[in-house]
Amino acid sequence: MPQQYLNYIDGEWKPAASGSWNENRNPAHWNEIIGLFPKSGVEEVDEAVAAAREAYKSWRLVPAPERGAILKKAGDIMVERKEDLARDMTREMGKVLAETRGDVQEGIDTAYYAAVEGRRLFSHTAPSELRNKMNLSFRMPIGIAGLITPWNFPMAIPCWKTLPALLCGNSVVLKPASDTPLTATHLVEILIEAGVPKGVINLVHGGGGVVGNRLVEHPDVDVISFTGSSEIGKAINAKAGATLKRVSLELGGKNAQIVMEDADLELALDGVLWGAFGTTGQRCTATSRLLLHQAIYDQFLDMLVGAIKCLTVGDGLDPKSKVGPVVNKSQIETVESYVKIGKAEGARLIVGGHQLTDGAHKDGWFYAPTVFADVQPKMRLFQEEIFGPVLSVAKVKDFDQAVAYHNDCIYGLSSSIYTRDVNRAFRAVRDLEAGITYVNGATIGAECHMPFGGVKQTGNGHREGGWPVYEFYSEIKTVYIDFSGKLQRAQIDNY
Ligand code: UN1
């Protein structure tokens, strides 16, 4: 009998009232059940929100530096458990151990950064227009944050959202992805151990359609942060409008790497291999389009195909593996469907394009790293997010066409240009429509203290990471202190 894991509500670990469970399976060996997790319903969400509301009364009064000290301790515990956390994460979602270690490290970095923000949480202070009067503003907590997180960064993204929300003095109800509930459980255990009080952090497992949806419509939830597809993000935003919640959406991407004719091609090759096939292409920031200058087009494609043939695909726990499995069956089906679409649209499949089912791959969701060449901007392959190991390559005649192709897309998360020409590099920084631009670096590699997010349909203007996330999770209180001892009328007595 696989181990049963529980929700964490109001300081207690408990099952869902429904008594039903979701299986968490290893994508590299899908017969292996890692654990059973409660299939929660509206009832559990309501209970968690009520607990969060009660706990908020005292948590909001804990000084921010003290809240920061708790998060610092959580970071220290993550450091001690880094290896175990990484191994469990590889087992539940597949990516290779080097990457799951990186994912945990991103959580640690986020904890230490949050701890430091506890001693800043800056706001604006400005002079008064009147004598003997002082104007200040402070950051106050908002209330209850409902956090809905994806499976591709099972520790980093729950940390990106949970830790700043807590630091700002909010209580949290976390709904992790059904594919990665174990890492979220570990995170909550760590937060409890670090001293987050009962009711301040709550964990409710279950599907987005029920648990996520209830958080979004619950009248007593003040803030929603969601990372996932644009389609669901739009539905969340519309629904959350009914209760005027503050909503942060981190959605789809179709990130491109541009390689100009003057680029260091070996460097650009390392970049695209990492960007397109790291995390098996399952990052919001993954390189999904490669825009090659015509002068190096054929040469670079040859280099790319040669290098891909040396990429070992396998169980992420095996040190030889460079690319792990795809997260689940439905994701494999999505990838397959896009390969079919690409062929039907007339793109040229130059490597991969099939599931791996031999020996070491036979009981997992493995897919061969895949490249389509001669992709045209009007093709679905060029426009739509796939979230798998599929790269679409287009030929461009010059820099201006590279920028135009890049921007011909509804998304705008990450972008990259490889060139040795400093003028072109700066133009790209200015003109690529994306929230993030890398110069001579892959489209992936964000750091937790820098703003993370995209333009166009990648989001709704908020950022995760960096300073802006602390603005998102706090409310401004403006304060006027009049010490003149008489009525002073602004805009009147001084003119
Ligand atoms: C994501 O894919 O949603 O820059 C997050 C990166 C990582 C974070 C990715 N540090 O790719």
Domain 255-439 annotated CATH 3.40.190.10: no
Looking at residue 411, its amino acid is: Y
Return residue ranges of the chain for CATH 3.40.605.10. 7-251+459-478
Among 103, 113, 444, say which to mutate for ligand 1: greatest number of ligand atoms within 8 Å of CB: 444
Write out the chain's pLDDT in tens, 495 residues: 899 999 999 999 999 999 999 999 999 999 999 999 999 999 999 999 999 999 999 999 999 999 999 999 999 999 999 999 999 999 999 999 999 999 999 999 999 999 999 999 999 999 999 999 999 999 999 999 999 999 999 999 999 999 999 999 999 999 999 999 999 999 999 999 999 999 999 999 999 999 999 999 999 999 999 999 999 999 999 999 999 999 999 999 999 999 999 999 999 999 999 999 999 999 999 999 999 999 999 999 999 999 999 999 999 999 999 999 999 999 999 999 999 999 999 999 999 999 999 999 999 999 999 999 999 999 999 999 999 999 999 999 999 999 999 999 999 999 999 999 999 999 999 999 999 999 999 999 999 999 999 999 999 999 999 999 999 999 999 999 999 999 999 999 989
Alpha-helical (H) ranges within 325-462 are 329-345, 380-383, 399-407, 422-431
Question: Which residues lie across from 313 on neighbouring strands?
Answer: 323
Residues 6+ apart with CB under 8 A from 142: 168, 170, 222, 223, 246, 473, 474, 475
Q: Are 334 and 386 in contact (CB under 8 A)?
A: yes
**Distance from the CA of 444 to the center of ligand 1, in angstroms?**
6
Q: Are 159 and 186 in contact (CB under 8 A)?
A: no
**Distance from the CA of 412 to the center of ligand 1, in angstroms?**
14
Burial class (CB in 10 A: 0-12, 13-18, 19+), 426: exposed
Query: Which residue's C-alpha comes closest to atom 10 of ligand 1?
Result: 446
**Distance from the CA of 372 to the center of ligand 1, in angstroms?**
24
For ligand 1, say whether the CB of 411 is within 6 Å of any of its atoms. Answer: no
Tell me the CATH number for domain 7-251+459-478: 3.40.605.10
For ligand 1, say whether the CB of 451 is within 6 Å of any of its atoms. Answer: no
Which residues are tagged catalytic?
250, 284
Side-chain-side CA neighbours of 264 within 13 Å: the count stands at: 8
Enter the tokens of residue 385.
Answer: 């997010």
